[in-house]
A and B are shown apart, each in its own frame.
Chain A
Amino acid sequence: MKKFIITFLISLLLTMNVSAGTDGENSFTKKNSGQVKDCFEKINRTTFKFNEALDVAIIEPIAKAYRVLPSPVRAGTSNALDNLSSLVTIPNNILQGEFKKAGVNTGRFVINTTVGILGIFNVAQKLGFSEYEKEDYGQTLGTMGISPGCYLVLPILGPSTIRDTAGSFINILGGDPWYNASINGNNEYLSKTQYAATKILTGVNFRAQNIDSIENLKKNSIDFYASVKSLYLQDRQQKISNKNGSLEIIYDGNWEEIESQ
Chain B
Amino acid sequence: MKNFLIFVTFLIITLSNISKVYSIEADVFVQSTVNRASEALNNKFSKKEKIEKLKQIASETVDIRGIGFYTLGVYRKNISNDQLKQYEKLFEQYFLKSFSSRLAEYSNPEIEVISKKKLNQNYTMVSSILVSTEQRPEVKVDWRIYTKNLENPKIRDLIIEGLSLARTQKEEFSSIIQSNDGDINALFAALIEFIKE
Measured CB to CB, the residues of A under 8 A from B are: 33-34, 38, 41, 71, 209, 212, 216, 219-223, 225-227, 229-231, 234-235, 238, 243-246, 249-252, 254-256, 258-261
Contact = CB atoms under 8 A, between A and B. Distances in A.
A255 B144 contact: yes
B156 interface: yes
A235 B123 contact: no
Interface size class of B (residues with CB under 8 A): 35 or more
Contacts of B194: 222
Contacts, number: 103
A221 B172 contact: yes
Interface stretch (B47-55, B63-71, B78-86): B63-71
Contacts of B179: 41
Contacts of B66: 258-261
A231 B137 CA distance: 19
Nearest to A233: B171
Contacts of B191: 222
Contacts of B21: none
B171 A261 contact: no
B102 interface: yes
A250 B125 contact: yes
A62 B60 CA distance: 42
Given A209-B136, A220-B102, A261-B152, A238 B162 contact: yes
B172 A227 contact: yes
Cβ-closest 4 pairs across A and B:
A226-B175, A260-B66, A230-B171, A238-B162
A231 B168 contact: yes
A229 B171 contact: yes
A249 B164 contact: yes
A145 to B, nearest CB: 21
B142 interface: yes
A41 B146 CA distance: 35
B59 interface: no
B102 A71 contact: no
B162 A235 contact: yes
B148 A261 contact: yes
Given A243-B162, A245-B162, 20 more contacts: A38-B175, A71-B134, A216-B102, A222-B193, A223-B175, A223-B176, A226-B176, A227-B172, A229-B175, A230-B171, A234-B168, A244-B162, A251-B119, A252-B164, A252-B167, A255-B157, A258-B66, A259-B66, A261-B63, A261-B148
A37 B193 CA distance: 28
A71 B136 CA distance: 10
Interface string B63-100: 10110011001000000000000000000001000100
